[in-house]
């Protein structure tokens, strides 16, 4: 795009893409998906979820500072990151599933690059007019009118970009407070930096780079193309029906020679990536299906059946070429490959849900002092010391009892109490949503094995209960 003309054959200058507005089933579907995805993006951080007095009330919050991830009723601690890993694996397999069933539907409908580019193109039509007006304006010399239009367009783009970059930070802090701080100038510098970077990338990617991101930068089209098979739905120009191309007049003159395509170029005019679908499946096609809408409209005008360009599997295309009837869509979608992906996807989801339901919200870890390993006390007993960490993952303080299992005669006390108060158990209250560190002393009678395995146990003594155990070792001289 920035190469001087004729400087090298290794680079290709960007050809401007000015997609024409179009209406139809798929265009409306895209409107709906855009509305839903943008609404999710902008609204989610503002949803509230009551978690009591000790936890934030934001429904979806990635609290990096305190290392917590909240999603409605689910709270994830850093050591439970495998849930996030599981979600990422599900997202991956979900994409396999979608791709094998309906091709590059992600690219065509839901990818942020597609959604924001689409939004930016609508803005462009609003300020500059439709395709032809845009081409004229691009070719026109700089004049006051052109500058005014450009400024208007860029301002709206910048506004959208700012709203996009601005919304991102609300996922990482309490949205209402951060919003107030942001405008008051007292938010963290990283918030401003993040907004600045994301505003810049949104403006650049959505306003100027557009289809080049899909064609040159994004690895996903390559991966998706590799995952498509002959049973995946792709946008197909039915060349056996369309060729030979010719105008309606020509076709009337020689009906045997010409096909349905009247070579009106509408499919090319509406394409947001500037390709000609009639050249066949290609990496530039994001399967947004706007050419289908455009072609259907033209076919209706000239009184020919719709679907000259349509979603079609390669297998069906071959069959149709031979004159067979297309198979029902359901049969295309439900086949072993998609069902296997769906089964894997669902079982990972079910396993994660089960694990979430069964996970303990209290947990204990113990580390033995290594220097000295043991201390002989004046009454002859042997003392070992441990750093015991009790983790309370509930959003309220919980009373717990720490005890030992498999260490006869053991007496426990902490560094906060004298040994006279040693007992078989130690009680503590773990603050909400945090880890309590207890420096625990254990004294046990000197006679016994040199190394004795035992276990720490922790039990919540409130109504809900629950507990955990941790193997440890007691050492004697």
How many whole angstroms separate alpha carbon 29 and alpha carbon 2? 35
CB of 370 to other proteins, least distance (A): 8
How many whole angstroms separate alpha carbon 375 and alpha carbon 371? 10
- Contact flag: residue 450 with other proteins (CB under 8 A): no
In DSSP notation, 389-409 reads: EEEE-SSS-EEEEEEEES-TT
CB of 375 to other proteins, least distance (A): 4
CB of 217 to other proteins, least distance (A): 31
- Contact flag: residue 383 with other proteins (CB under 8 A): yes
The Cβ of residue 41 has, within 10 Å, a number of other Cβ atoms equal to 17
- Contact flag: residue 227 with other proteins (CB under 8 A): no
CB of 380 to other proteins, least distance (A): 4
Which residues fall within 8 angstroms of residue 239, CB to CB, at 6 or more apart? 259, 278, 280
Residue span 392-431 as binding mask against other proteins, x where in contact by CB under 8 A, dash where not = -----------------------x--xxx-----------
If the CB atoms of residues 7 and 371 are measured against other proteins, the closer one turns out to be 371
Of 384, 381, 385, nearest in space to 446 by CA: 381
How many whole angstroms separate alpha carbon 432 and alpha carbon 435? 9
Tokens 């990096």 belong to residue: 64
- Contact flag: residue 372 with other proteins (CB under 8 A): yes
Are the C-beta atoms of 124 and 116 separated by less than 8 Å? no
- Contact flag: residue 446 with other proteins (CB under 8 A): yes
If the CB atoms of residues 282 and 429 are measured against other proteins, the closer one turns out to be 429
- Contact flag: residue 371 with other proteins (CB under 8 A): yes
Contact with other proteins (CB under 8 A): which of 186, 322, 378, 450? Answer: 378
Contact with other proteins (CB under 8 A): which of 197, 217, 377, 424? Answer: 377
**Residue 76: strand pairing partners:** 69
CB of 376 to other proteins, least distance (A): 6
Q: Which stretch binds other proteins (CB under 8 A): 174-182, 207-215, 337-345, 381-389?
A: 381-389
Give the HSE-up count for residue 155: Cα atoms under 13 Å, Cβ half-sphere: 8
Contact with other proteins (CB under 8 A): which of 385, 402, 410, 472? Answer: 385
State the alpha helices, DSSP H only, in 243-313: 248-253, 266-270, 290-302
- Contact flag: residue 441 with other proteins (CB under 8 A): yes
CB of 337 to other proteins, least distance (A): 55
How many whole angstroms separate alpha carbon 334 and alpha carbon 330? 6
* Phi and psi, residue 438, nearest 5°: -120, 125
Question: In 327-365, which positions are buried (b, 16+ CB within 10 angstroms) versus exposed (e)?
Answer: eeeeebeeeeebeebbebbeebeeebeeeeeeeebbbbb
CA angle 116, 117, 119 (to 5 degrees): 60
CB of 418 to other proteins, least distance (A): 6
Q: What is each CA distance from 97 to 147, 203, 258, 316, 339, in whole angstroms?
A: 47, 32, 39, 20, 8
Contact with other proteins (CB under 8 A): which of 375, 395, 435, 455? Answer: 375
Kindly determine how many residues on this chain lie close enough to bind other proteins according to the rule CB under 8 A.
19
Which residues fall within 8 angstroms of residue 464, CB to CB, at 6 or more apart? 394
Are the C-beta atoms of 12 and 2 separated by less than 8 Å? no
CB of 416 to other proteins, least distance (A): 10
Which residues fall within 8 angstroms of residue 408, CB to CB, at 6 or more apart? 444, 445
CB of 428 to other proteins, least distance (A): 16
CB of 417 to other proteins, least distance (A): 10
Q: Which stretch binds other proteins (CB under 8 A): 104-112, 199-207, 267-275, 378-386?
A: 378-386
If the CB atoms of residues 44 and 414 are measured against other proteins, the closer one turns out to be 414
If the CB atoms of residues 247 and 367 are measured against other proteins, the closer one turns out to be 367
Q: Which stretch binds other proteins (CB under 8 A): 81-89, 175-183, 281-289, 367-375?
A: 367-375
* Chain residues 238-277 in contact with other proteins, contact rule CB under 8 A: none
- Joined together, the tokens standing for residue 4 give 């001087």
CB of 404 to other proteins, least distance (A): 17
Residue span 270-309 as binding mask against other proteins, x where in contact by CB under 8 A, dash where not = ----------------------------------------
Dihedral angle sign, alpha carbons of residues 90, 91, 96, 98:
positive
If the CB atoms of residues 102 and 382 are measured against other proteins, the closer one turns out to be 382
- Joined together, the tokens standing for residue 46 give 């503002």
Are the C-beta atoms of 459 and 430 separated by less than 8 Å? no
If the CB atoms of residues 256 and 379 are measured against other proteins, the closer one turns out to be 379
Tokens 């086949």 belong to residue: 335
- Contact flag: residue 352 with other proteins (CB under 8 A): no
Q: Which stretch binds other proteins (CB under 8 A): 37-45, 131-139, 371-379, 448-456?
A: 371-379
Which residues fall within 8 angstroms of residue 436, CB to CB, at 6 or more apart? 389, 390, 391, 392, 428, 429, 430
CB of 419 to other proteins, least distance (A): 4
- Could you list the residues that contact other proteins (CB under 8 A)? 369-372, 375-381, 383, 385, 415, 418-420, 441, 446
């Amino acid at each position: 795009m920035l190469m001087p003309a004729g400087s090298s054959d290794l680079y290709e200058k960007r050809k401007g893409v000015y997609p024409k507005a179009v209406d139809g089933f798929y265009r409306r579907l895209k409107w709906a998906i855009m509305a839903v995805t943008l609404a999710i993006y902008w609204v989610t951080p503002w949803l509230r979820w009551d978690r009591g007095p000790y936890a934030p009330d934001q429904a979806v919050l990635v609290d990096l500072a305190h290392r917590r991830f909240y999603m409605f009723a689910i709270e994830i601690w850093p050591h439970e990151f495998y849930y996030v890993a599981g979600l990422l694996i599900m997202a991956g397999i979900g994409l396999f599933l979608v791709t094998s069933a309906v091709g590059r539907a992600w690219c065509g409908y839901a990818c942020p690059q597609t959604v924001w580019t689409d939004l930016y193109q609508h803005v462009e039509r609003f300020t500059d007019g439709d395709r032809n007006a845009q081409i004229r304006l691009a070719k026109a010399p700089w004049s006051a009118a052109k500058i005014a239009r450009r400024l208007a367009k860029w301002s709206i783009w910048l506004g959208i970009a700012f709203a996009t970059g601005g919304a991102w930070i609300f996922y990482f802090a309490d949205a209402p407070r951060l919003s107030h701080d942001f405008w008051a100038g007292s938010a963290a510098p990283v918030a401003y930096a993040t907004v600045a970077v994301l505003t810049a990338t949104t403006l650049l990617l959505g306003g100027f780079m557009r289809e080049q991101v899909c064609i040159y930068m994004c690895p996903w089209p390559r991966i998706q193309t590799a995952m498509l098979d002959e049973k995946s739905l792709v946008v197909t120009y039915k060349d056996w029906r369309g060729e030979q191309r010719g105008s309606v007049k020509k076709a009337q003159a020689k009906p045997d020679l010409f096909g349905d395509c009247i070579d009106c170029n509408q499919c090319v005019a509406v394409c947001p990536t500037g390709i000609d679908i009639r050249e066949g499946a290609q990496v530039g096609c994001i399967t947004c299906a706007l050419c289908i809408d455009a072609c259907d409209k033209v076919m209706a005008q000239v009184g020919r059946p719709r679907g000259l360009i349509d979603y079609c599997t390669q297998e069906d295309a071959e069959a149709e070429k031979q004159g067979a009837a297309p198979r029902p869509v359901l049969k295309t979608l439900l086949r072993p490959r998609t069902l296997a992906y769906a089964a894997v996807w669902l079982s990972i989801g079910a396993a994660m849900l089960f694990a979430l339901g069964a996970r303990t919200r209290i947990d204990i870890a113990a580390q033995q002092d290594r220097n000295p390993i043991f201390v002989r006390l004046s009454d002859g007993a042997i003392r070992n010391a441990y750093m015991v960490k009790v983790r309370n993952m509930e959003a309220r303080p919980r009373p717990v009892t720490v005890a030992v299992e498999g260490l006869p005669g053991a007496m426990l006390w902490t560094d906060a109490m004298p040994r006279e108060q040693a007992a078989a158990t130690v009680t503590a209250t773990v603050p909400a949503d945090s880890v309590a560190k207890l420096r625990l002393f254990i004294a046990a009678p000197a006679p016994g094995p040199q190394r004795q395995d035992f276990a720490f146990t922790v039990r919540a003594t409130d109504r809900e209960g629950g507990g955990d155990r941790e193997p440890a070792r007691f050492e004697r001289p």
